Amino acid sequence: MGTLGYYIFYGINWTITLLPLSILYFFSDILFLLLYYFPSYRRKIVTENLRNSFPEKSEKEIEIIRRKFYRHFADLFIETLKLTHISDSEIKKRFMVTNPELIERLYESGRDVAVVYSHYNNWEWLSAFLPKYTKYRCVGVYKPLQNKLFNNFINNNRIRYNGELAPMKMVVRKIVENREKNIRGMYGIMSDQTPAKTLIEYYTDFLNQETPVFLGAEKIASKYDMAVVFLNFQKLKRGYYSLTIDLLFETAKDLPEYMVTNTHVKRLEKLIREKPEYWLWTHRRWKYKKEVK
């Protein structure tokens, strides 16, 4: 997207997202038809991912999951754009934390937290709204997009509600800076991104496939003696979500190698198996295979 195209997009988005979500979902219904039928978006990738992840399911079952996924995917796009204009009252109505007392207890203990989450349900709302429910300084660790204008658009929405961002390469510096200022931090790390081929250090079994995974959450939590939590983000109905924070480890210090990683990977797998339509199946998650030595 060029500069002119971006500003056209920005102006249209700024205007349209003044409309309430109940009306914007009309555009989502149209978008679903485009994504699923005319001409379809990465449908072959989605189908292959589903078949490999659920070999026990019939073609009919795969088709049902695929169709539900694209409906959710269209909603996700519209809901993400809506971050441009959404009020505090609407956030409180549509986004609920079921157990804020856990965050409060960890905060009072003085411990920083490594937060593991994924491309499940509406992760953009999760990144934007979680800071409203905690005293922690919430820092989202992200991989910058190639398009700088669109990257800034997404990041501005993510920090609109008092969150902060740190590129992957800068997260250690951010942790050190916050500790020097006696600021307790929650560091949100995506658990299901694919490492660059040259950065792959570890494979694990995930959805019936050998899968390369980042070790960032484990390394950071271990080095800086953090608690590790997993964000169980559930869709209640269209446009309404609940978040339950699952404590995986009170402290990651001195745990066996790969224990944190294997634990959060299996926790995500369980979530996906329960409601597979809410994970991001368009992603080329298994493009790298483990080399046989």
Same domain, 194 and 222: yes
Q: How confident is the model at residue 48 (pLDDT cuts 50, 70, 90)?
A: very high
Domain limit, last residue, from 85, 105, 139: 85
Same domain, 58 and 122: no
Higher pLDDT residue, 138 or 38? 138
pTM: 0.92
Say if CB 180 and CB 107 are below 8 A apart.
Answer: no
Same domain, 119 and 245: yes
> Among 144-158, 174-188, 238-252, 272-286, which is the least confidently predicted range?
144-158
Same domain, 53 and 148: no
Torsion angles phi and psi, residue 137, rounded to 5: -80, 115
Rounded Cα–Cα distance for residues 195 and 212 (Å): 7
Query: What total number of domains does the chain contain?
Result: 2
Q: How confident is the model at residue 121 (pLDDT cuts 50, 70, 90)?
A: very high
| Confidence (pLDDT) at 184 | 97
Tell me, yes or no, whether 71 lies in a domain: yes
In this prediction, residues 8-35 reach a mean pLDDT of 93
Tell me, yes or no, whether 159 lies in a domain: yes
Q: Is the pLDDT of residue 196 over 80?
A: yes
Rounded Cα–Cα distance for residues 42 and 36 (Å): 9
182 lies in which domain range? 95-279
Same domain, 64 and 142: no
- What is the signed CA dihedral for 268, 274, 276, 280, rounded to 10 degrees? -30
Same domain, 174 and 264: yes
Residue 49: Cβ within 10 Å count: 24
| Confidence (pLDDT) at 1 | 57
> Among 117-126, 145-154, 194-203, which is the least confidently predicted range?
145-154
Strand, helix or coil for residue 181:
coil
Q: How far is CA 97 from the centre of its chain?
A: 16
Rounded Cα–Cα distance for residues 171 and 262 (Å): 22
Q: What is the mean pLDDT of the chain?
A: 92
Same domain, 126 and 238: yes
Tell me, yes or no, whether 284 lies in a domain: no
Domain limit, last residue, from 58, 85, 112: 85
| Confidence (pLDDT) at 4 | 81
Domain limit, last residue, from 67, 85, 103: 85
Dihedral sign, CA of 2, 168, 217, 244? negative
Q: Is the pLDDT of residue 292 over 70?
A: no
Tell me, yes or no, whether 54 lies in a domain: yes
| Confidence (pLDDT) at 149 | 78
Provide Rg for the chain, Cα atoms: 19
| Confidence (pLDDT) at 293 | 58
138-187 pLDDT, tens per residue?
999 887 777 787 778 877 888 777 888 888 889 999 999 999 999 999 99
Tell me, yes or no, whether 285 lies in a domain: no
| Antiparallel, parallel or unpaired: β 164-167 and 227-237 | unpaired
From residue 22, give the alpha-carbon distance in Å to each of 25, 40, 181, 219. Answer: 6, 25, 43, 43
Same domain, 228 and 135: yes
